[in-house]
């Protein structure tokens, strides 16, 4: 009979159980979440949370105590450098157990055990109600101000305050409209000048192109007339010897 004995031996000896919990604690510190059975997760929570509390005081003694349990220098540095800063304001309850159902085969109840401050989805859900409270307080303050009775004598003062600003606004608006119109006129004149300048440049370029074309045409005509004169001279030269040949034969 194990009356009033709260330690769950998990079917292991003392040395085996201590080594298993140490390895599970190292995995939880490195990966921030592990998947295990519900009985092991409950025992791991008792084992690892005192070590996380010890990491809030970054001293040589506390580091030696934690290293004596974990036997992993990388997990110790992760615990004192990162995790201790993130859970510094939390007074306890550093882990969360989420049940996932029973395991096929032996029907053991399974769960996730994770560090609370590293689950971003759960932290966002907790921040939403805080905003709702601030909105409710504002609504209450607005309702309180609305229920205050307004004296009748103050009503005409509000009308005068409402009527006077539009006159100043209209005068300012007129000035602004005049200034914008003047600016538009200046811009339009500048645009017209730019267009005229571009047209003049285009006309000059067109005139230059026409002159170049006329010069090219004159050169082509001169080239075409030269071969005709050469052909005429060659025909004359060929005809002269044929006329001389019969005279020479008669003389002979």
The total domain count for the chain is: 1
The answer as to whether 248 is a domain residue is: no
Q: What are phi and psi of 112, to 5 degrees?
A: -105, 140
Q: Are 51 and 73 in contact (CB under 8 A)?
A: no
CATH number of the domain enclosing 21:
3.90.1030.10
pLDDT of residue 136: 65
123 contacts: CB under 8 Å, gap ≥ 6: 117
Counting as low any pLDDT under 50, the low residues of the chain are 159-161, 164, 167, 242-245, 250-252
The answer as to whether 78 is a domain residue is: yes
The answer as to whether 137 is a domain residue is: no
The answer as to whether 243 is a domain residue is: no
The answer as to whether 24 is a domain residue is: yes
Q: What 3-state DSSP class applies to 98? A: strand
Q: Are 118 and 124 in contact (CB under 8 A)?
A: no
Q: What is the pLDDT of residues 207-235, one digit of tens each?
A: 888 888 888 888 877 776 665 555 555 55
pLDDT of residue 233: 56
Q: What is the pLDDT of residues 63-81, one digit of tens each?
A: 999 999 999 999 999 999 9
Q: What is the mean pLDDT of the chain?
A: 80
The answer as to whether 136 is a domain residue is: no
Domain that holds residue 95: 14-117
pLDDT of residue 243: 47
113 contacts: CB under 8 Å, gap ≥ 6: 28, 33, 34, 36, 41, 44, 45, 95, 96, 97, 98
């Amino acid at each position: 009979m194990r009356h009033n004995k709260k330690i769950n031996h998990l079917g292991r000896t003392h040395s085996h159980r201590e080594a298993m919990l140490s390895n599970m604690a190292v995995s939880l510190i490195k990966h921030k979440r592990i998947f295990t059975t519900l009985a092991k997760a409950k025992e791991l929570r008792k084992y690892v949370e005192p070590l996380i509390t010890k990491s809030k005081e970054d001293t040589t003694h506390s580091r030696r105590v934690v290293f004596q349990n974990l036997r992993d220098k990388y997990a110790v540095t992760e615990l004192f450098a990162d995790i201790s800063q993130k859970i510094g304001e939390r007074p306890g309850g550093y882990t969360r157990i989420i049940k996932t159902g029973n395991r096929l085969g032996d029907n053991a109840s399974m769960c996730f055990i994770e560090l609370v401050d590293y689950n971003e989805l759960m932290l966002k859900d907790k921040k939403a109600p805080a905003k709702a409270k601030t909105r409710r307080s504002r609504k209450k303050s607005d309702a309180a101000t609305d229920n205050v009775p307004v004296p009748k004598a103050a009503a005409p003062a509000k009308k005068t305050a409402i009527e006077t600003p539009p006159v100043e606004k209209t005068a300012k608006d007129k000035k602004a409209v005049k200034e914008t119109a003047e600016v538009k006129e200046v811009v339009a004149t500048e645009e017209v000048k730019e267009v005229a300048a571009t047209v003049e440049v285009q006309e000059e370029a067109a005139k230059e192109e026409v002159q170049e074309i006329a010069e090219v045409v004159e050169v082509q005509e001169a080239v075409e007339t030269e071969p005709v004169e050469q052909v005429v001279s060659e025909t004359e030269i060929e005809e002269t010897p044929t006329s001389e040949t019969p005279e020479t034969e008669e003389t002979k």
